Amino acid sequence: MNPIFKWFKSADCKLQSGGRFGPYRLHELINEGGMAQLWLASNTREEVFALRVALPSLTSVNRKRFVQGCQALSEIPPHPNLIQYLDHGKCHQTPYMAMEYVEGANIRELLAVEDEILVQKIWEIVFGSAAALEHIHDHGYLHLDYKPENIVISRGGHPKLIDFDLCVRKPAKPIVLKSAGTPAYMAPEILLRKPADQRSDIFAFGVLAYELFTHRRPFTGDSSEEVLRKMLDQTSSLIPPSEHNPDISKGLERVIMKCLERNPDRRYPHMSVVVRDLQEAP
Q: Give the pLDDT score at 91.
A: 87
Q: Give the pLDDT score at 234.
A: 61
Q: Give the pLDDT score at 235.
A: 61
Q: Give the pLDDT score at 267.
A: 97
Q: What are phi and psi of 274, to 5 degrees?
A: -60, -45
Summarize pLDDT for 120-131 with one digit per residue, the tens. 999 999 999 999
* DSSP, residue by residue, 228-275: HHHHH-TTSPPPPGGGT-TTS-HHHHHHHHHHT-SSGGGS-S-HHHHH
Query: What are the boundaries of each domain within the chain?
Result: 7-99, 104-280
The CATH number assigned to the domain with range 7-99 reads 3.30.200.20
pTM: 0.90
Whether residue 81 has pLDDT greater than 70: yes
Q: Give the pLDDT score at 92.
A: 82
Q: Give the pLDDT score at 229.
A: 81
Summarize pLDDT for 205-229 with one digit per residue, the tens. 999 999 999 999 998 777 777 777 8
Whether residue 16 has pLDDT greater than 70: yes
Summarize pLDDT for 246-270 with one digit per residue, the tens. 999 999 999 999 999 999 999 999 9
Of the pLDDT bands very low, low, confident and very high (cuts 50, 70, 90), residue 1 is very low
Domain 104-280 - what CATH class?
mainly alpha
Whether residue 173 has pLDDT greater than 60: yes
Task: Give the percent of the chain with pLDDT over 70.
Answer: 93
Of the pLDDT bands very low, low, confident and very high (cuts 50, 70, 90), residue 9 is very low
Whether residue 183 has pLDDT greater than 60: yes
Of the pLDDT bands very low, low, confident and very high (cuts 50, 70, 90), residue 177 is confident
Rounded Cα gap, residues 241 and 232, in angstroms: 18
Contact 83, 160 (CB under 8 A): yes
Whether residue 11 has pLDDT greater than 70: no
Contact 244, 216 (CB under 8 A): yes
> What is the chain's mean pLDDT, rounded?
90
Contact 48, 95 (CB under 8 A): no
Whether residue 4 has pLDDT greater than 70: no
Distance of CA 160 to the CA centre of its chain: 9
Whether residue 3 has pLDDT greater than 50: no
